[in-house]
């Protein structure tokens, strides 16, 4: 069975002379959480709007759940999607429950599930409070509940954790995990890159409308070309190749491409020779900075 929920095939979206999304290819699979990173204006929101069918591609095609949606979505496809926009405008005089009921009616989902949904995002006790009296975190939780209506198979979240406290972020990623386990696909854009480590299965980096990197942490490390640093404290004097530099008493360090790491470790010989070993891989922020330095786009 094809587990690709979404396929973007050479998708470009042009406004006048500017290409907000430029020849992007992307496939998202069932049960996958993909982080979408990029500076302001990189094309992240435009990509989400294209997937949602709010705008149409200037060229290229988009396939969602096996259906070509480049010229519009069917109602059946729309029901399988959930969207949390970057800025959520909720009516301040409605209560949390009334707000969710309103969106459920729009989406045609069963209102009977709404209380459980409010419980799931942790605001059931404030269900009858006016949204105008909610904190920013509570409003974001309510907006997330709205996006979860009807158990969507594809969830698009535009900077969902901005302004959330650590406990709310944790709850948020817990819900994403549950969705993934049920086979849903999550595409999440963020500026808080470090947060994606451990939560996103893959990260896509956008620059000036182009996709400049795509992969899991290990693949991004290889794509970035940044070195891995290995520091070894040995138990006794050992002859090592000259790319190992002395950095202390019986302490050696070397830098190499990620793909050479295992070969370098083998050079240390038996593990009995090694008292301590530290392997430093670049952080996601360092890799991201490296991708954005590239001048080819
Ligand atoms: N409707 C529009 N008309 C003209 N230009 C647009 C339109 N929408 C987006 N753009 C341009 O397309 C580029 C990409 O914008 P987009 O909103 O997709 O970026 P983004 O990565 O989501 O940025 P941010 O992180 O600031 O939300 C920007 O240069 C923007 O000015």
> How high is the pLDDT of residue 1?
42
Going by the DSSP 8-state scheme, the letter that residue 130 receives in this structure is B
Is residue 291 one of the residues assigned to a domain? Answer: no
| Domain count of the fold of the chain | 2
Same domain for 213 and 235, yes or no, is no
Alpha carbon of 198 to ligand 1 centroid (Å)? 28
**Residue 46 near residue 199, CB atoms below 8 Å:** no
Of 221, 249, 267, the domain-final residue? 221
Do both 43 and 134 map to the same domain? yes
The residue from 202, 221, 240 where one domain ends is: 221
Q: Are the CB atoms for 191 and 206 separated by under 8 Å?
A: no
So what's the pLDDT on residue 164? 84
Asked if the structure places residue 56 within a domain, the reply is yes
At 225 the pLDDT is 92
What is the distance in angstroms between the CA of the first residue and the CA of the last residue of the chain? Answer: 36
Per-residue tokens: 273: 């020779």
Instruction: Answer yes or no: do 112 and 235 share one domain.
Output: no
71 and 148 fall within a common domain: yes
| CB atoms closer than 10 angstroms to residue 72 | 10
Extract the residue ranges of the chain whose pLDDT is less than 50: 1
Whether 162 is covered by a domain: the verdict is yes
Residues 26 and 145 in one domain: yes
Domain with 183, as residue range(s), is 4-221
Q: Counting atoms of ligand 1 from 1, which one is nearest the CA of 206?
A: 21
- Say yes or no: CB of residue 93 within 6 Å of ligand 1: no
Q: How high is the ipTM of this complex?
A: 0.96
41 C-alpha to ligand 1 centroid (Å) = 5
| In a shared domain, residues 47 and 181 | yes
Quote the CA–CA distance of 33 and 170 in Å, as a whole number.
Answer: 15
Q: How far is Cα 12 from Cα 258, in angstroms, rounded to an integer?
A: 33
- Rounded Cα gap, residues 263 and 5, in angstroms: 38
- 78 shares a domain with 127: yes
Q: How far apart are CA 2 and CA 11, in angstroms?
A: 21
Distance CA 126, CA 145 (A): 13
């Amino acid at each position: 069975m094809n587990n690709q929920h979404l396929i973007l095939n050479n998708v470009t979206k042009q406004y006048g002379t500017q290409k907000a999304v430029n020849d992007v290819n992307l496939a998202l699979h069932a049960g996958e959480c993909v982080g979408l990173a990029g500076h302001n204006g990189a094309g992240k929101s435009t990509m989400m709007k294209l997937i949602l069918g709010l705008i149409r591609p200037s060229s290229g095609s988009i396939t969602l759940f096996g259906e070509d949606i480049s010229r519009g979505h069917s109602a059946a496809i729309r029901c399988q999607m959930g969207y949390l926009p970057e800025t959520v405008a909720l009516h301040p005089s409605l209560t949390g429950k009334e707000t969710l009921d309103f969106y459920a009616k729009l989406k045609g989902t069963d209102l009977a599930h709404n209380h459980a949904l409010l419980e799931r995002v942790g605001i059931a006790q404030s269900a009858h409070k006016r949204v105008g009296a909610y904190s920013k975190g509570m409003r974001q939780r309510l907006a997330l509940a709205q996006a979860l209506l009807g158990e969507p198979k594809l969830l698009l979240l535009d900077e969902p954790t901005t302004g959330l406290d650590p406990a709310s972020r944790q709850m948020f990623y817990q819900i994403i995990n549950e969705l993934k386990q049920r086979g849903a696909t999550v595409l999440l854009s963020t500026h808080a890159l470090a947060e994606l480590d451990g939560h996103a299965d893959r990260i896509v980096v956008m620059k000036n409308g182009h996709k400049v990197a795509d992969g899991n942490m290990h693949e991004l490390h290889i794509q970035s070309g940044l070195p891995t640093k290995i520091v070894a404290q040995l138990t006794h004097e050992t002859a090592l190749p000259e790319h190992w530099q002395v950095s202390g008493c019986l302490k050696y360090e070397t830098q190499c491409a990620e793909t050479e790491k295992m070969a370098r470790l083998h050079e240390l010989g038996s593990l009995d020779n090694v008292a301590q070993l530290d392997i430093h891989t670049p952080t996601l922020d360092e890799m991201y900075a490296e991708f954005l330095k590239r001048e080819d786009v």
